[in-house]
């Protein structure tokens, strides 16, 4: 059985948990889960090509931290940042681990695209820059953080 939760239910549950654990713990857990899901999906990490499409919020932070974990394990991880204000802890970790920020026109075909644009509070529809980023490699599988961007 699968369960669905409202945005308000998720936010209340997160707030209760965040009050009990050190700052950053939930993001690290999410990043590890995401990195593991990507590695499991691909069947390997070393030599994999991963493209992160990143927004400015916590989903972007989750993806950047996961990208750092994958890069430290030998994946080539690139990120297209759709915001001028990337996640304040995720971006430095990503760059320190060898992740690369690229323009949409500079990226090479990845093995998988990670959708980290919007999360549970997002509105349907994609901004033109996000739509352009996802149209670069329509044949590539996409793994979304939380929910696919643009879906209600």
User: How many helices, marked H, and strands, marked E, lie in the chain?
Assistant: 5, 5
- pLDDT profile of the chain (152 residues), mean per 10: 80 82 87 98 98 93 98 98 89 98 94 91 80 93 88 63
Domain count, the chain: 1
For residue 2, being part of any structural domain is answered with no
Is 118 among the domain residues?
yes
Which residues, in sequence order, are CB contacts of 138 under 8 Å at separation 6+?
A: none
CATH number of 78's domain: 3.40.50.10260
Give CA–CA dist 27/33, Å, rounded: 10
Residues 6+ apart with CB under 8 A from 23: none
Over residues 83-115, the pLDDT tens digits come to: 888 889 999 999 999 999 999 999 999 999 999
What is the extent of the structural domain holding 126?
Answer: 27-144
Query: Is 49 inside any structural domain?
Result: yes
If you ran DSSP here, which 8-state letter would residue 108 be given? P
Q: Is residue 151 part of a domain?
A: no
Asked whether residue 86 is assigned to any structural domain, the reply reads: yes
Q: What is the pLDDT of residue 36?
A: 98
Contacts of 135 (CB under 8 A, 6+ apart): none
User: Residue 129 domain-assigned?
Assistant: yes
The whole-number pLDDT of residue 64 equals 97
Query: Is residue 17 in some structural domain?
Result: no
Answer whether 104's CB lies under 8 Å from 123's CB: no
Q: Looking at residue 152, what is its pLDDT?
A: 58
Residue 105: Cβ within 10 Å count: 8
Is 13 a domain residue? no
- pLDDT value of residue 48: 99
Q: From CA 4, how far away is CA 2, in angstroms rounded?
A: 7
């Amino acid at each position: 059985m699968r369960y669905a939760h409202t945005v308000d239910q998720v936010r209340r549950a997160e707030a209760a948990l965040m009050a009990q654990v050190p700052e950053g713990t939930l993001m690290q857990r999410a990043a590890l889960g995401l990195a593991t899901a990507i590695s499991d999906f691909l069947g390997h990490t070393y030599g994999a090509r991963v493209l992160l499409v990143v927004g400015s919020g916590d989903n972007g932070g989750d993806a950047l931290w996961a990208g750092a974990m994958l890069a430290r394990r030998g994946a080539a991880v690139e990120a297209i940042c759709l915001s001028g204000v990337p996640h304040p802890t995720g971006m430095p970790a990503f760059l320190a681990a060898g992740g690369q920020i690229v323009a949409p026109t500079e990226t090479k075909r990845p093995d998988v695209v990670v959708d980290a644009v919007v999360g549970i509070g997002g509105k349907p529809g994609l901004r033109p820059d996000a739509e352009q980023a996802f149209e670069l490699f329509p044949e590539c599988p996409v793994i979304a953080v939380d929910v696919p961007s643009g879906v209600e």
